[in-house]
């Protein structure tokens, strides 16, 4: 018991592990919401509705923004500031377009007569879930905006790899979360 | 999100030990401190302050229960319109019960207990310079603190604080028109809880990461002290169970203020039908208790972890069955997720489901009993030192037994149905998780006070505090079992209205007197705490002759904990009374070579850094500081970023 044991340490950077744990907590939050959804989905008051196509367009845009972010990070690794700047700006723009698209989608829902308040649970959940995702995405946009600003001012150096990597994980996590939500909501409108 | 900013701003790499020339203002040293030891103190003081106010509230409603017909003019002075002519307002009674529960369960025993001891012990006992992210750690306290402020602010709003019980079941909590306590107070309650959960989660993320990533060299998982094991497990529990509860609270807030009907259906108020249809109260119960039951262990496991340290250290014996203790912590944590519906046996759920949850609930008894046996066998033939920390440790175990045994009654559906929402339940949970965890918190405070403030607490006052609280708590809560069997329901404003409860009037008076004596007995602790903080006997570096690493750091707090290298661990945390050892404890950083070299670690003036700094560097230091980004000066505009080597 006495010889010093050298251990294999976990190879993640502590801050990356922190971020993964945070994403785990976020997943549990939305797991809570969607399981509540499933509990109520089978009540007699449940009504289905058509999810406007714009939400799917938004989904494509958000998935696209993950690709531009990946492309930007690739530019960073290759040492190409231009690719980093353009990629980050594209991600930023697509994130903003996604949020505007969500607003448009909510407008279309309102035009269908579907509101947050009232007894239409499907609609209420839709607003709650997409709204909370939107709030998280605003946090993500602040992070991407920070790195875009730094990249445009050529302040991204070799020490930035961790921050950029974490920003990427966070953004992809939000992307994945939206994919889960939109597929979940769509499936539940089918039957 | 904060992660990125913390990263981007960049902290001083902790490997470089240059603590002396830190210039700290009052604000960065005491308020926005990123030092885990200061944050531990902040949690302790905030938790204890909130907790003391919480038990004072119970004193007020106990007064009402014992003397429902007596007028106490001082109550009107104290509470104003909530006690007209010295008689407590029934709505305010509900608010008191609610706030008492919320403060004690969440603020004292979750935030206060875990926040204090996880922050103090995890880095110090694992040999780390600080938490994984000191910045997030600071935020964790500030969310907790502002949650506290919002919670207490609800005492000063027109309609008073939340009044639907600490579990805030809808529809009572979701309809502002139902009672005053469902108005603005309820909104503040939800906001406070969400801030609290964010704070707890930020702390938890840090605790988990620090335990997984920042242990010093040689600190393999099975050399970690049990306190760290339990605090780590609790952080995982919190991470999995608090977010669904936040989901429940958010839906509740929408129902309360924004006109949704997630939980509301078929409600009439004063003959008026409400428009909300199709909601489901059971949904709230499930979401709430999915947190609510693990929450019991979020409170209890750190208490038991602390108790393990207290009992082993002060019995001068290795903890009996160390690995069994670890596995029982993990076992309790796992089982805690599949028992939540035992809080809902009378909710009309499927009886088959009830029997399944009965079976899983009884499973909890196995790891719990293993822990109890191990505590008793640790004490068996130990050289038991009955000092204050040890007394409180034994007290924790005793309450865990006397409260835990009654858990069998409540865990079995057919027994629970008659006992549901009676004083039997009140007695049960107060003893098993309330008083037992409070005792561990007291014990931990007496034990680690020299580590926190560099001074010893007064032993004699500690004895008086212990015996008064120990006897008092038993006198308060044991009679409640008796009343519960008699069918006395909880949360009633006055029992004199009904003949079947009226016969317990004398017992209620007895409980109230015992409670008031116990509550005011805590003033002894408060006096001892603050007096010792300034005038206590200066503590030696290792006052209890303990083996764990926190006692190898200098008494005066350093940012970065150890002045030189980090200690390297050579043995498990419980080498007490080891055969062949010259004294009855061998600290974790002492190697067999050190013993052979004749190091005399038991002497008062022994300086552990003579051993720690002598250690050959073999990567221990590197381990702690995984690459920490350092911001370099602005590069010239067309400088291309280098390819990072690690990706």
> Quick one: which of B76, B49, B48, B38 has its CA closest to B60?
B76
Asked if the structure places residue B401 within a domain, the reply is yes
Q: How confident is the model at residue B497 (pLDDT cuts 50, 70, 90)?
A: confident
**Which residue of chain B has the CA closest to A2?**
B570
Identify the pLDDT of residue A70.
96
- Determine whether the interchain pair A163/B260 forms a contact, defined as Cβ–Cβ distance below 8 Å: no
Asked if the structure places residue B185 within a domain, the reply is yes
Interacting residues of B498 by C-beta distance below 8 A, sequence separation 6+ = none
Q: How confident is the model at residue B621 (pLDDT cuts 50, 70, 90)?
A: very low
Confirm or reject contact between A186 and chain B (CB < 8 A): no
Asked if the structure places residue B359 within a domain, the reply is yes
CA atoms within 13 A on the CB side of B5: 12
The arithmetic mean of pLDDT across residues A101-127, rounded, is: 94
> Quick one: which of A145, A127, A137, A141 has its CA closest to A176?
A137
The arithmetic mean of pLDDT across residues B278-289, rounded, is: 93
Identify the pLDDT of residue B14.
42
**Which residue of chain B has the CA closest to A81?**
B640
Identify the pLDDT of residue A10.
55
Asked if the structure places residue B343 within a domain, the reply is yes
Asked if the structure places residue B627 within a domain, the reply is no
**Which residue of chain A has the CA closest to B244?**
A32
Give the bridge partners for B269, in sequence order: B272
- Determine whether the interchain pair A13/B277 forms a contact, defined as Cβ–Cβ distance below 8 Å: no
Residue B38 has pLDDT above 50, yes or no: yes
Q: What is the CATH number of the domain that holds B470?
A: 1.20.210.10
The arithmetic mean of pLDDT across residues B449-453, rounded, is: 96
Residue A130 has pLDDT above 90, yes or no: yes
**Distance to chain B for A80, nearest Cα, Å:** 6
Identify the pLDDT of residue B222.
95
| DSSP string for B4-17 | HHHHHH----TTS-
Identify the pLDDT of residue B618.
52
Residue B10 has pLDDT above 70, yes or no: no
Q: How far is CA B19 from CA A112, B23, B562, in A?
A: 64, 9, 10
Q: Quick: pLDDT tens for B66-92.
A: 999 899 999 999 999 999 999 999 999
Beta pairing, strands B272-273 & B268-269:
antiparallel
- Which stretch of A137-141, B274-278, B473-477 has the lowest confidence by average pLDDT? B274-278
Contact B529, B445 (CB under 8 A): yes
Q: How confident is the model at residue B361 (pLDDT cuts 50, 70, 90)?
A: very high
Q: How confident is the model at residue B207 (pLDDT cuts 50, 70, 90)?
A: very high
- Determine whether the interchain pair A77/B647 forms a contact, defined as Cβ–Cβ distance below 8 Å: yes
> Quick one: which of A27, A86, A97, A87 has its CA closest to A62?
A97
d(CA B128, CA B133): 12
Give the burial string for B288-321 (b: 16+ CB within 10 Å, else e). bbbbbbbbbbbbbbbbbbbbbbbbbbbbbbbbbb
- Which stretch of B252-266, B523-537, B609-623 has the lowest confidence by average pLDDT? B609-623
Interacting residues of B605 by C-beta distance below 8 A, sequence separation 6+ = none
- Determine whether the interchain pair A167/B631 forms a contact, defined as Cβ–Cβ distance below 8 Å: no
**Which residue of chain A has the CA closest to B243?**
A29
Counted domains in chain B: 1
More confident residue, B576 or B503: B576
Give B280's contacts in chain A (Cβ within 8 Å): 39-40, 43
Q: How confident is the model at residue A152 (pLDDT cuts 50, 70, 90)?
A: very high
Confirm or reject contact between A53 and chain B (CB < 8 A): no
d(CA A126, CA A37): 10
The arithmetic mean of pLDDT across residues B581-599, rounded, is: 92
- Determine whether the interchain pair A118/B260 forms a contact, defined as Cβ–Cβ distance below 8 Å: yes
- Determine whether the interchain pair A79/B571 forms a contact, defined as Cβ–Cβ distance below 8 Å: no
Residue B645 has pLDDT above 50, yes or no: no
- Determine whether the interchain pair A116/B209 forms a contact, defined as Cβ–Cβ distance below 8 Å: no
Identify the pLDDT of residue B22.
57
SS3 content of chain B, % helix, strand, coil (to 5): 65, 0, 35
Contact B168, B192 (CB under 8 A): no
The arithmetic mean of pLDDT across residues B405-416, rounded, is: 92
Three-state secondary-structure class, residue B380: coil
Chosen for mutation from A31, A85, A117 (greatest number of chain B CBs closer than 10 Å) is A117
Residue B626 has pLDDT above 80, yes or no: no
More confident residue, A4 or A119: A119
Q: Quick: pLDDT tens for A23-36.
A: 999 999 999 999 99
More confident residue, B635 or A78: A78
The arithmetic mean of pLDDT across residues B346-370, rounded, is: 92
Rg over CA atoms, chain A: 20
Q: Quick: pLDDT tens for B86-136.
A: 999 999 999 999 999 999 999 999 999 999 999 999 999 999 999 999 999
Encoding tokens for residue A125?
Answer: 């959940």
Which domains are delineated in chain A?
55-190 (1.20.120.80)
**Which residue of chain B has the CA closest to A9?**
B213
φ, ψ for residue B421, nearest 5 deg:
55, 30
Interacting residues of A146 by C-beta distance below 8 A, sequence separation 6+ = A167, B4, B5, B8
- Determine whether the interchain pair B571/A1 forms a contact, defined as Cβ–Cβ distance below 8 Å: yes
Q: Quick: pLDDT tens for B213-256.
A: 999 999 999 999 999 999 999 999 999 999 999 999 999 999 99
Q: How confident is the model at residue B617 (pLDDT cuts 50, 70, 90)?
A: low
Asked if the structure places residue B553 within a domain, the reply is no
If you average pLDDT over every residue of chain A, what do you get? 91
Confirm or reject contact between A17 and chain B (CB < 8 A): yes
Chosen for mutation from A157, A167, A168 (greatest number of chain B CBs closer than 10 Å) is A157
Give B5's contacts in chain A (Cβ within 8 Å): 146
Q: Quick: pLDDT tens for A39-59.
A: 999 888 888 899 999 999 999
Residue B647 has pLDDT above 50, yes or no: no
- Determine whether the interchain pair A32/B642 forms a contact, defined as Cβ–Cβ distance below 8 Å: no
| Domain with B434 in it | 36-535
Q: Across chain A, which distance is largest between two alpha carbons, in Å?
A: 73
Contact B466, B391 (CB under 8 A): yes
If you average pLDDT over every residue of chain B, what do you get? 90
- Determine whether the interchain pair B7/A33 forms a contact, defined as Cβ–Cβ distance below 8 Å: no
Asked if the structure places residue B188 within a domain, the reply is yes
Interacting residues of A179 by C-beta distance below 8 A, sequence separation 6+ = A59, A63
Where does chain A have alpha helices with state H?
A: 14-41, 53-78, 81-111, 121-152, 161-190
- Determine whether the interchain pair B638/A33 forms a contact, defined as Cβ–Cβ distance below 8 Å: no
Give A45's contacts in chain B (Cβ within 8 Å): 277-278
Looking at the partner chain, which of A4, A140, A166 has a beta carbon nearest the beta carbon of B7?
A166
d(CA B21, CA B146): 32
Asked if the structure places residue B495 within a domain, the reply is yes
- Determine whether the interchain pair B260/A28 forms a contact, defined as Cβ–Cβ distance below 8 Å: no
């Amino acid at each position: 018991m006495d010889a010093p044991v050298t251990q294999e340490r976990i190879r993640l950077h502590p801050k990356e592990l922190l971020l993964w744990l945070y994403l785990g907590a976020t997943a549990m939050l939305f797991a809570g919401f969607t399981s509540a959804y499933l509990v109520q989905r089978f009540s007699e008051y449940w009504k289905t509705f058509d999810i406007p196509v714009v939400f799917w367009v938004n989904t494509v845009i958000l998935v696209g923004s993950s690709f531009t972010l990946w492309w930007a990070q690739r530019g960073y690794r290759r040492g190409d500031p231009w690719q980093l700047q353009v990629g980050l700006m594209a991600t930023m723009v697509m994130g903003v377009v996604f949020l505007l698209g969500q607003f448009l989608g909510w407008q279309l829902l309102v035009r269908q007569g579907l509101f947050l308040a009232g007894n239409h649970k499907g609609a209420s959940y839709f607003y709650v879930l997409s709204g909370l995702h939107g709030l998280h995405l605003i946090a993500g946009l602040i992070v991407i905006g920070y790195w875009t600003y730094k990249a445009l001012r050529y302040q991204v150096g070799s020490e930035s790899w961790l921050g950029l990597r974490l920003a990427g994980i966070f953004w992809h996590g939000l992307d994945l979360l939206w994919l889960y939500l939109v597929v979940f909501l769509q499936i539940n409108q089918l039957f | 999100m904060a992660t990125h900013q913390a990263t981007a701003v960049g902290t001083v790499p902790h490997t470089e030990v240059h603590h002396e020339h830190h210039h700290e203002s009052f604000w960065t040293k005491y308020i926005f401190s990123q030092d885990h030891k200061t944050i531990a103190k902040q949690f302790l003081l905030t938790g204890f302050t909130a907790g003391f106010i919480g038990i004072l509230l119970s004193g007020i409603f106990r007064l009402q229960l014992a003397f429902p017909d007596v007028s106490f003019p001082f109550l009107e002075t104290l509470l104003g319109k909530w006690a007209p002519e010295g008689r407590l307002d029934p709505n305010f009674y509900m608010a008191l019960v609610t706030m008492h529960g919320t403060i004690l369960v969440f603020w004292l025993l979750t935030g206060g207990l875990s926040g204090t001891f996880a922050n103090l012990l995890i880095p110090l006992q694992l040999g780390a310079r600080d938490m994984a992210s000191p910045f997030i750690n600071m935020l964790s306290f500030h969310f907790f603190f502002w949650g506290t402020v919002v919670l207490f602010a609800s005492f000063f709003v027109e309609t008073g604080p939340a009044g639907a019980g600490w579990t805030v079941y809808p529809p009572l909590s979701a309809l502002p028109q139902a009672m005053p306590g469902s108005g603005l107070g309820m909104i503040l309650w939800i906001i406070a809880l969400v801030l609290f959960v964010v704070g707890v989660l930020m702390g938890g993320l840090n605790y988990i990461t620090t335990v997984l990533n920042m242990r010093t060299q040689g600190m393999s998982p099975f050399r970690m002290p049990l306190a760290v094991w339990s605090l780590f497990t609790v952080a995982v529990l919190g991470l999995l169970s608090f977010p669904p509860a936040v989901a429940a609270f958010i839906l509740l807030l929408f129902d309360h203020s924004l006109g949704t009907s997630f939980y509301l259906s078929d409600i009439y108020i004063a003959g008026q039908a409400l428009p909300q249809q199709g909601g489901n109260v059971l949904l709230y119960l499930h979401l709430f208790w999915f947190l609510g039951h693990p929450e019991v262990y979020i409170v209890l496991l750190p208490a038991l972890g602390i108790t393990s340290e207290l009992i082993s250290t002060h019995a001068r014996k290795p903890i009996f069955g160390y690995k069994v203790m670890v596995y029982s912590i993990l076992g309790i944590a796992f089982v805690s997720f599949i028992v939540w519906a035992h809080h809902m046996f009378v909710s009309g759920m499927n009886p088959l489901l009830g029997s399944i949850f009965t079976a899983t609930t009884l499973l909890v008894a196995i790891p719990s009993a293993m822990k109890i046996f191990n505590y008793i066998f640790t004490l068996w033939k130990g050289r038991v030192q009955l000092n204050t920390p040890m007394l409180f440790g034994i007290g924790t175990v005793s309450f865990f037994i006397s409260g835990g045994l009654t858990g069998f009654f409540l865990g079995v559906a057919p027994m629970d149905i008659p006992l549901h929402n009676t004083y039997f339940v009140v007695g049960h949970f107060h003893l098993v998780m309330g008083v037992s965890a409070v005792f561990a918190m007291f014990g931990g405070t007496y034990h680690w006070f020299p580590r926190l403030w560099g001074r010893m607490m007064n032993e004699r006052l500690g004895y008086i505090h212990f015996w008064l609280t120990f006897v008092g708590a038993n006198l308060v809560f044991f009679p409640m079992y008796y009343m519960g069997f008699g069918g006395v329901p909880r949360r009633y404003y006055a029992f004199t209205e009904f003949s079947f409860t009226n016969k317990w009037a004398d017992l209620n008076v007895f409980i109230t007197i015992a409670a008031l004596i116990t509550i005011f007995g805590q003033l002894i602790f408060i006096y001892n705490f603050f007096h010792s903080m300034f005038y206590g006997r200066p503590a030696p570096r290792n006052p209890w002759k303990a083996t764990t690493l926190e006692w190898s750091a200098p008494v005066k707090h350093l940012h970065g904990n150890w002045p030189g290298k980090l200690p390297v661990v050579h043995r498990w945390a419980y080498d007490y009374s080891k055969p062949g050892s010259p004294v009855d404890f061998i600290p974790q950083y002492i190697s067999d070579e050190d013993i052979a070299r004749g190091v005399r670690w038991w002497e008062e003036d022994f300086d552990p850094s003579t051993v720690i700094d002598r250690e050959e560097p073999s990567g221990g230091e590197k381990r702690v500081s995984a690459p920490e980004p350092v911001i370099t000066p602005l590069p010239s505009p067309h400088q291309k970023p280098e390819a990072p080597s690690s990706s």
